[in-house]
Structure 1
Amino acid sequence: MKITNLLPKVEPKSVNVEAELVLANSKFPESNLPFYRKLGRTDLTVSCLGLGGGGHISSEDTLYAFERGINYFFYSSDLHQYLYSSMRGALRQLCGKGSSIRDQVVLATVSYMIRTPDAVLTYLYDQFVDLGIDYIDVFFWGWIDEHNSNSFEKCLSASDDIRGSDTVCQRHIERVFGISERLKKMGAVRYIGASFHDHDLAQKWLDSSLLDVVMVRHNVAHRTAQNKVFPYLDPKDPQRPGIVTFKSAGMVGPLWTSPLGLPSGCWQPSVPDLYRYSLSQNCVDIALAGWTKREHVDSAIAAVQQGKLTPEELDYLNLYGDLHRNRIKVKDVPPQRWLYR
């Protein structure tokens, strides 16, 4: 049975990935933006919206998100740990030792302390203690940019010692936390990811066999990934990495607020519309969200059920984002490019 298989248990050889996704998506209205999808070349079936703890969401509302169909959860134990701590109880319930629903959850964790490959054990110990888990689905090296690129390269070179079963990493974890059937089968870490703040570096590592999932910042006002990352991915390539976006709703300022100069009556996108913007890009599997309460979960799910944005909507949101960055002047925009709602 696959880790995130949403069907009754079957023998691995009989699983049909396409049939699995069709059945998983049958609970949602049919659309060109399927709610569940395969995460790149991994065997993980993930919801197109992922939940991180940056909004200090409660454990109760984290469990509510899972009940609504969200199955990708992102957790940090070193940066902004206080914000993430409020979802810890829910993740222990969903992913901890003895959980009967562990195989329905994709747990992604991150460390922003990029030093040496040996140091990863320290970060994993913290996460195993925090969450009481047997294994992690995707372990991310966080905040990769030009300042830590050399250290990241050294860490990534050790991917085969960290991910999968029967690795050095697994044996270390077993000595500290004990041996379990899940740990023996999955390994301490199933897949390796990296969160890039430098899109040139993200592009450089897209084709690396050492990296399974790539996470990049992306929104209507910061569209560098649309030039440097997304065009270099082939949606038909079964070996492409999984792609996760973050900062959909803003980086410097909130993008759901109207930019200065926006003509009266023009469409002012909601935060869920901004998730749809990222999910409408080539090969984006997950838009990571930092919801603060369950109402945000509901509105985000309702929005993605509307499907991908149209070319006209994408063009308008590009204008909208450029206004936020003061890249254009309203007087220079042809009237037909504005959308009124």
Structure 2
Amino acid sequence: MEQTIQTAHGSFAKGVLGRTGLSVGRLGLAASYGAPPAAFEEAFERGCNYFYIGSGRRRANMKTAIRNICENGHREHLVVAVQTYARFGLLTETLFRRNLRSMGLAHADILMLGWHNRRPAQRLMDMALRLKQNGLCRFIGMSGHSRGLFVQLTKEGVFDLFHVRYNAAHRGAETETFPFLKGDSRPGVVSYTATRWGHLLKSEKMPEGEPPLRASDCYRFAMSHPAVDVCLCGPSNMEQMREALTALDLGPLSEAEMERARRVGDHVHRHGGGFF
């Protein structure tokens, strides 16, 4: 189920999230940055249906949008991913059920086990599988920064998708992860940190004489890679949401644009500072 990019009208087509079979818009939405409910609802109308509930404090607006969308009869078109950073099975279940109740949902589409750079403890894996078997989630995913771990866990067949860090400054997944996640049974791939924590957007982080990338450029960079099913964006207001949505209309980067993004990314990676 390789993700295809539709270029006839310069836009990104909806695709399939790996072996989950879920139909997803290429631009996903993260909850924790403060955009109002109306911004998420506008994005949903544009085909953005991957809603990711992380652990940040500013999740209420996305939850309100999810409730509104469901009340309007569109639950079946949403893909709701709920992440937990809990390391113990019982706490994972408690937090997960609490999140579902806060959105008025009987189940989430995806339970995300957050930030694992080594194989999750077996008791945590067992709890995730039990939640899936009990119908509280349809699929299980994992996020982390260890690119080789995704490849290792793919062989076990437990995880249905991964959240993978990927941007113009951090391209290691192109050689260490993406080539090994292929075929009809491959896990879905959701990329995150497209702007490299905003560094790719800052003039002071750029090479001399080079203008910064736009947020939409960063999202287009990630979505232009055929291994990426969904690229997450984290808008903090309506303006940022609409800037992100322009990426859908502009479509994949041209070769010249891709070359510039890589050039900027290399400079930021060498000199930009920040985490990882």
- Normalised TM-score (structure 2): 0.87
Q: Measure the CA separation in 1 of the matches of 2:34 and 2:245.
A: 19
- Mapped contact 2:205–2:271 kept (Cα < 8 A): no
Q: Which residue of 2 aligns with 1:202?
A: 150
When residues 255 and 162 of structure 1 are mapped into structure 2, their CA distance, relative to the original with a 3 A threshold, is same
1:315 pairs with 2:255? no
The SS at the match of 2:263 is helix
Counterpart CA distance in 2 for 1:99 and 1:191 is 24
1:103 corresponds in structure 2 to: 76
Matched, 1:134 2:106: yes
The equivalent position to 2:250 in structure 1, one of 306, 330, 333, is 306
Amino acid at match of 1:70: C
Equivalent residues of 1:259, 1:324 under 8 A apart: no
Task: Select the residue among 111, 116, 124 that pairs with 1:155.
Answer: 124
CA distance 1:223–1:274, change in 2 (3 Å): same
Structure 1 residues 208 and 281, CA gap change in structure 2 (3 angstroms):
farther
The code of the aligned residue for 2:188 comes to: G
CA contact (8 A) 1:194 1:211 kept: yes
Q: Residue 37 in 1 paired to residue 6 in 2?
A: no
Hey, what does 1:269 align to over in structure 2? 213
Secondary structure in structure 1 of the residue aligned to 2:115 = strand
Aligned to 1:288: 232
* Structure number with larger C-alpha Rg: 1
SS at match of 1:278: helix
Instruction: Out of 287-296 and 134-143, give the one that drifted further.
Output: 287-296
**Equivalent residue in structure 1 for 2:159, among 211, 216, 219:** 211
Corresponding residue for 2:194? 248
Deviations 1:241-297 (A, max 9, x none): 11001111113x521113556242x45320110011111223100000101223323
Gaps of 5+ in 2: none
Q: CA deviation at 1:53?
A: 1.3
Higher relative contact order (CA 8 A, sep 6+): 2
CA distance in 2 between counterparts of 1:261 and 1:298 reads 24
Task: State the one-letter code of the partner of 2:249.
Answer: Q
Whole-angstrom CA distance in 2 between matches of 1:36 and 1:140: 22
Q: Distance in 2 between matches of 1:206 and 1:312?
A: 34
Q: CA deviation at 1:158?
A: 4.7
What secondary structure, in the 3-state scheme, does the structure 1 residue paired with 2:101 have?
helix
Task: Name the SS for the 2:262 alignment partner.
Answer: helix
Q: 1:175-234 deviations in whole A, cap 9, x for unaligned?
A: xxxxxxxxxxxx210111111122222222133321001101111112222221112122
Give the Cα separation in 1 of the matches to 2:271 and 2:171. 13
Whole-Å Cα distance in 2 between the matches of residues 140 and 110 of structure 1? 4
Aligned to 1:144: 116
Q: Mark the CA change 1:297 to 1:30 in structure 2 (over 3 Å): closer, same or farther.
A: farther
Cα distance, 1:72 vs. partner? 1.0
In the alignment, is residue 192 of structure 1 matched against residue 140 of structure 2?
A: yes
**Letter aligned with residue 111 of structure 1:** T
Structure-2 residue corresponding to 1:7:
none
With over 3 angstroms needed to count, the CA separation of the structure-2 counterparts of 1:327 and 1:55, relative to structure 1, is: closer
Distance (whole Å) between structure 2 residues aligned to residue 259 and residue 206 of structure 1:
39
What stretches of structure 1 of length at least 5 have no aligned partner? Answer: 1-16, 171-186, 329-341
Look up the match of 1:332. none
Distance (Å, rounded) in 2 between the aligned partners of 1:215 and 1:239: 17
- Percent sequence identity is 26
Would the aligned equivalents of 1:243 and 1:283 in 2 still touch at CA under 8 Å?
Answer: yes
Aligned residues, how many? Answer: 272
1:119 aligns with 2:104: no
Report the alpha carbon displacement of residue 324 of structure 1 after superposing the two structures with TM. Answer: 1.2
CA distance, structure 1, for counterparts of residue 7 and residue 47 of structure 2: 13
Compared CA separation, residues 67 and 262, structure 1 to 2 (3 A): same
- Output the amino acid matched with 1:262: P
What is the letter of the counterpart of residue 202 of structure 2? T
Offset from partner CA, 1:110-151 (integer Å, 9 cap, x none): 1011223x43321222112211111111110011124xx342
Task: Give the 3-state SS of the residue equivalent to 1:54 in structure 2.
Answer: coil
**TM-score between both structures, scaled by the size of structure 1:** 0.72
* CA RMSD between the two structures: 2.8
Q: CA–CA distance in 2 between the matches of 1:32 and 1:41?
A: 26
